[in-house]
Structures are given as structure tokens and as C-alpha cells.
Structure 1
């Protein structure tokens, strides 16, 4: 087991890779009564075309299957996993994103028992055609619920514009039509490929003794048999900037129009983990300088009535994609989009990009980061999403400190391109 001490945040991390390939990370927090565990597989909604374990050819599975599989893992032949965690004094949940599926628990006692339950239920699949068909109706209702959410539709509207071929634009839960094709055999195919320990990581944070806990996890895994691992081969459609849909719109039952502008990044990114996190953070700082609620651009648009408190922006970077989006409710969606695109394209010359402003933004980001390290949930969830090679969440303070104005300008130069822009609108449905 490897021990890593981070002097800037006074945290000690314990990591190890077991014989079956499972990566285990333990973070002792002796001042906490609670323990939080997160068991994650590097498998999400976009992974719908791959070479199954033990095979040689690519196969394509129905959209939404990663989310469907997450639901079904909680159901066993003779028990309900949620109820079992409840009897052990723990709360449990799970979530599926574009690239990951995570299972979690939180408890103040019975820590070893709850960790064992977490490992055992995720590593013991039970699917039948009968239970799969029953679940389709439940997930179809969930899909319909999100289709009635205007903000969800706005977000996936811009994703469809930016990534018209890539599965990123498809709802994480799939479509009502796609899930009808999911079978128990499909679930086992995906499970056996992506839930191999070598494609998973276990993160435990809280009041724990690392040596004792690592021994317990090793013994748990030694009792189980896994086939030899093989590198997972995924395949995604090739897209060019010319295929970006520049504009689209729909009508929904909303009281005011909604507008969103998206900017798609190039596929060329730093290969080094530290530099990749630095690139991501530089762009997050750029957007903060340009569009936070203290920036001149924000105040001008707000005072002009072009945006309101619903305005938001976000930068997303993950394997096989990265993009930014800017959205608001507005009575003038076209003018908002034009204004945003103009500000984005001219962002390199913005008077907001100064050393003084950058230092203020860095201090704010650093303070928020250090404060968040008091949350076990934040640590566990962010550790998985911010792991770039050997660089992790606990290097984030060093990354922030290393960024200079030239790094922000270089990131801007790489990211902002006219051919990467798109816009999407939702207008109120006309009443008959």
C-alpha cells in the first residue's frame, strides 16, 4: 500500500492496486464520525459500442443500458439491497453519468459490514428477463419525466447540436424506444466487460484505520474469482467541426424563452495528467473572469434585461469530449446568443483578463476548494471525476497555484474557435 502525504492540505492518502486490478484509495478523517464509500466503474452512457470481454469484434448495445444496469444491480434474487443497508444503519444510492457509474453508502457505524455489502452486491449480478422487462416501465417513466423538464431539454438540445453523432447527445437513461430492446443477456455482456475489478476503483473516506481496512478489502476480493482482464476497446463516431449544428429550436410549455450557447473543444488535449487538470482549471478561471456575477459583461447584460438570475455557465471535460455552455431565461433569446458569441470570440482582448483579477479568482477558487474538503461526499465524488493519471483532487491546490495569466490566455487560444460554436432555443408553445 502506497502512502501519499499532501502538505498543502495536510491530508494523507493510502492507495493500492489489488491482484485482480481493483484500485483502492483510503482517506482517514479521524475527526469525523461518518464514513462514505464510493465504488465506481469507468463505464457510462456513452460506452455503447465496444469489444466485449473475451471477444474480438465490436458490438453495439441499446442506448441507456449503463443506467439500466445500475438500477438492476440493487435487485437480488432473495433481498433488496437498499433494505439491507438500512438494517445496517447506512443510506445508499447510485448514479450514472456519461462516463462513470458509482455506487455509494454513508454510515456512522458498521463500517466494515457496509463496505462488504457494497463490494458484494456490486460484484454479484442477478438479472432475469422477467425482472428486466418489469424495470422497463419504471425507467420509461423516468425518461418521460426528464423530457418534460425544460432545462434538461435545453442542455441536451445543445449537446445534440455540438455532438450530433457522438452518443453524448443521447439522454443518459436512453429513450423509451431504446430501452425496449435491452435484455438480461445484454446486461451480463456489459457487466462482464465493464465491471471487471481492473476497470473499477473503490474510495473510502472517513473515520477509518487504513491498514486494517485494506486488509479487510484484500480478503474480501481474494474470496472471489474473476477472469483475466483485457484492455477495453471503445469506439466513438468521428466528428468534424463542419458537422456541428449551428442552430436549432423547439417549443415547450414554458412561460419565457430559454437560450443556450455551446462551445465545443478540439480533441487535442495535454496528455500529462497535471497539465490536463491545469488546462481544465485555466478555462474554468477564464469563464469566471469573463462571466461571473461580478464581471462587467454579466452586469451589462443583467442591467440591460438580457439575462436574469437564471444565467449560468459551465465547463465540462471528460474522456472523448469537452465543451462549455452558457444559458439563461430571456425575452430576447436571439440577442442573448449573439451577445454571448461576440463576447466569447473577443474574449482574449477582454479587459477582465488581468493579473489582479486572476489572482482574486484563484484565491476564491482555492478557498472554495479547501472549504469543500470538509465534505466527505465532495471528496469521494470529485476524486473519481478529477483523476487524470497520477494527478488527483489533492493536487488541485498546487494546480491552482501554478496557473499564470499566460496559461489562461493559451487555454483560451486553444479552446475558442468560431467553428466550435452553436446555439439552441426553447420558445413557449403557442396556445390554440
Structure 2
């Protein structure tokens, strides 16, 4: 077992790659009552077109990664949820565009819960009958999301930004696509993407690293795994510009919802370069549109935005985009105002005092986050899968200069890379 010490944040990470390829990371936090464990596979909703270990090229139905996540909890003769509950643990799982994670938190019986997590994720059990039953359950979930204005405005924005890249596809799929899912498809995806060599296990909280690593080694050494498949994902070539300037929908809302996206023109960054782009862009957005900015104050005082106004930046190797918006009485005016703000900021540059305030705020928020095992558990794997360390964020943040942010602004605040999604009241159709 190796250790990496991050002196600046006073954190030590214990890590080991097991014989089966599983990467294990332990972050002890003495004095904390709660422990989190997250078992993650690098497999999400975008991974529907790939080459199998036999060399066969396959397209599986949209929504299958999410469907598989649901089915992992069902076993022939045991109730996983009940077992976690009996151990005093809270368990959950989620599927994103490029990851599926299984997790639990507990204050006691870490050994039992950790063995349970590893065992149930590594024991697939699918039957024709249970797959058919699940289609109805997930179909109801899909219908619920279709009627959710916040989800609809977000997914429509991704459809406007991306022509072919599969983050424009619903994570849960559609009722039509999941109707084609079979247990054979599920086993095929499981065998391809759930091999330990494609997975990462993180444990963070109050425990003795040597004892926990010993438990994990013993659990994994008692199981047989085939050689790790060579995973070959296949993605369409995406155009650099947005697919559509605007997508509108009508649902039951009080105020219209307006979300503006900026599609990154150049992709392909990895490691520290990707991390710097991510943090610099988030800092930029906070300087210009954060609640302490003059822009936010003017928009709010004028009634053009409400407290729902927010922004974020999603940054992966193959895609990246900013989103900002919220409820507004006048979506068109908000869009034009945001465009004007971006152009004015590029001309005026970044105010030094505003930069320093936003940077101190971001560093402070990050340091506070490190006092939360939930924060570490939720963030650690994302950074690691992108070739970075969560605990390296602080020195990188401290190294960012005002000039870095201005350069990023000129690269990213591009009007021709923008797209808009609006959800209006259903009565607006009348």
C-alpha cells in the first residue's frame, strides 16, 4: 500500500491497485463519526456504442447503464437495502453521463457494510421476468422527468448544444429505448464495464487504513475474475458549434425557465490542464455572475432574475460547457442581457479586487468542503477518473492569476458558441 501526503491540506491518501486491477483509495479522517464508501465504474449513459472483448461492435439501447444500476440491487435470495439498513447504514446509487456509483454511509459496522457493498455490486443477477418488471418502474421514472420543468430545460439545452455526442440523450433513456433491454444486454454491459480494472473504490472517514485495506484485499482475493477486457468506446464526431440556437417547451410553470449554454469549442485536455480549465472557468463565472457581483445585483434588482439564478461548468476530456440561468419573466431580455454582459466584460477585463474576492471565496469554500466526508466522497472519484487529485485543487487554485481568468474569458465567452433552452407556461400555447 502506497501513501501520498498532501501537506498543504493536511490529508493523507492510502492507495493500492489490487491484482484484479481494482484501484482502492482510503482517506482516513480521525475524529469523524461517519464513514462513506463509494464503488464506482467508469461507465455511464454515453457508453452505449462500444466494442466487446470479442471484437464485436455493439450498440445497446439508450438508458441501459441506468437500468443496470437499478437491477444491481435485486438478488435471488437477499434484500440488499434491508441488509444495509440492518447494519445501520444508508445506501444509494446513481448514474451520470460517464459514471455509475454505488455508495453507503455508516457510523458503525464498517466491515460488514464494506463487504456487502463489494459483494452485491460484483454479483449480478438478472432474469427475463425481473427485467420486464423493471421496465414499468423505470418507465414511470422517465415520465416523471418528462414533466419536470427543471430537468426538461436542462436536457433541452444539451440537445441544443450537442448535435451527435450522446450527452444529449436522456440518462434513463426513453420508454421506447428501454423496451428493447434484455438480460443478455445487461450481462454484456456488466461483463464489459464492471470488471474491477474499470472501477475505483474510495473509503473516507474514521477507520484504520491497514485494517480496511486488508479487508478489501481478502474480499477481492476470494473472487475469480476473467482477464480485464480492453474497453473500446465509440463516439460520433461532434461539430464544434451548437446544434441549434434555441429549443422551447411548454410545461406547468409559474415563471418561464431560461437556461443559456456555452459550448466549449476545443476539447481533448487531460490531467492538470483539464483541472486548470475547470477551476479557472468556474472562478470566471463566479466573478461575473456570482451573488456578490454587480451583474447579479442589477439583474436581481431589475426583476429579470430570481434567487433561482445559478451557473455551473461541466468539464470532461471530450466535452465541456457552461450553463447559467433560472426563472425569469422575460427570457429573451435575459439572453440579450447576458450576451451584452459577456461582450462588455471581454472589453473591460476582470477587476483585480473582484478577482481576489472570488478567489478567496473559492479557496475558503473548498477548505470547508474538506471538513465534510460527503464532499470528499462526492468529488474524489470525478477528479481521479480525469487523472487528477481532489487534494491538488488548492495549490492549483492559488496559482490562478487574473490574467489566466481573462484569457479563459476570451476563449470561452463566445456568442456563436451559445444556445438557449426555454420552458414556458403551458397556458402560453393558448
2:144 corresponds to 1:157: no
Q: 1:202 is matched with which residue?
A: 201
How far apart in 2 are the matches of 1:205 and 1:301?
A: 41
Q: Aligned equivalents of 1:268 and 1:101: distance in 2?
A: 23
Q: Return the alpha-carbon distance in structure 2 between the equivalents of residues 255 and 328 of structure 1.
A: 12
CA distance in 2: counterparts of 1:336 and 1:315, whole angstroms = 19
Find the aligned partners of 2:130 and 2:385 in 1 and give their Cα distance: 37
Residue aligning to 2:371: 374
The alignment status of 1:422 with 2:413, answered yes or no, reads: no
Q: 1:76–1:126: 8 Å Cα contact kept in structure 2?
A: yes
> Alpha-carbon deviation of 1:197?
0.5
2:21·2:196 contact (CA, 8 Å) conserved in 1? yes
Q: Does 1:403 align with 2:400?
A: yes
The match for 2:264 is 265
**Equivalent residues in 2 for 1:351-370 (5 A)?**
353-370=350-367
Q: TM-score, normalised by structure 1?
A: 0.96
Residue from 327, 330, 349 that aligns with 2:328: 330
- 1:21 equivalent to 2:18? Answer no
298-307 or 199-208: bigger deviation: 298-307
Aligned position for 1:339: 337
Q: Provide the rounded CA distance (Å) in 2 between the counterparts of 1:93 and 1:242.
A: 37
Range 234-243 or range 331-340, more displaced: 234-243
**Secondary structure at 2:26's aligned position in 1?**
strand
Equivalent in the alignment of 1:387: 384
1:79-129 Cα deviation digits (max 9, x unpaired): 110011111221111111111100011111111111110000000100011
User: Does the alignment pair 1:42 with 2:42?
Assistant: yes
SS of 2:388's equivalent? coil
> Mapping of 1:181-330 within 5 angstroms?
181-242=180-241, 244-271=243-270, 273-330=271-328
Contact 2:27/2:203 (8 A) holds in 1: yes
Of residues 389-398 and 150-159 in structure 1, the stretch that sits farther from structure 2 once superposed is: 389-398
SS at match of 1:160: helix
Q: Distance in 1 between matches of 2:314 and 2:149?
A: 20
- Change in Cα spacing, 1:345 to 1:230, as seen in structure 2 (3 Å) is farther
| Structure 1 residues 308-337: Cα deviation after superposition (integer angstroms, max 9, x where no partner) | 112111111124211011112112111111
Per-residue CA distance 1:176-204 (angstroms, 9 max, x = gap):
11111100001001100110101100000
- After superposition, residues 60-75 of structure 1 pair within 5 angstroms as 60-75=59-74
After superposition, give the CA deviation of every residue in 1:242-266 in whole Å (9 maximum; x if it has no partner).
5520112111122222211110002
1:324 alignment partner, SS class: strand
Report deviation, 1:346.
3.9
Residue of structure 1 in register with 2:51 after alignment = 51
Q: Distance in 2 between matches of 1:18 and 1:347?
A: 50
Equivalent residue runs for 1:70-89 within 5 Å? 70-89=69-88
Could you tell me which residue of structure 2 aligns to residue 8 of structure 1? Answer: 8
Q: By how many angstroms is 1:130 displaced?
A: 0.4
Deviations 1:128-164 (A, max 9, x none): 1100000011001111111111111000110000013
Secondary structure in 2 matching 1:113: helix
Partner of 2:77: helix, strand, or coil? coil
What is the Cα deviation at residue 354 of structure 1? 2.4
Tell me, in whole angstroms, the C-alpha distance in 2 between the residues paired with 1:69 and 1:242: 33
Shift of 1:388: 5.6
Query: Contact 2:241–2:263 (CA<8 Å) still a contact in 1?
Result: no
Unaligned residue ranges in structure 2 (runs of 5+): none
RMSD of aligned Cα (Å): 1.5
Mapped to 2, the partners of 1:93 and 1:268 lie a distance apart of 32
- Superposition deviation, residue 391 in structure 1: 2.3
Say if 1:99 and 1:319, in contact at 8 Å, map to a contact too.
no
**Structure 1, gaps ≥5 residues long:** none
Aligned ranges 1:130-149 → 2 under 5 Å: 130-149=129-148
Count of aligned pairs between the two proteins: 429
SS in 2 for 1:182: coil
Distance 1:228 1:411 in 2: 43
1:102 aligns with 2:101: yes
Residue pair 1:265, 1:416 contacting (<8 A) in 2 also: no
Whole-angstrom distance in 2 between the partners of 1:283 and 1:175: 33
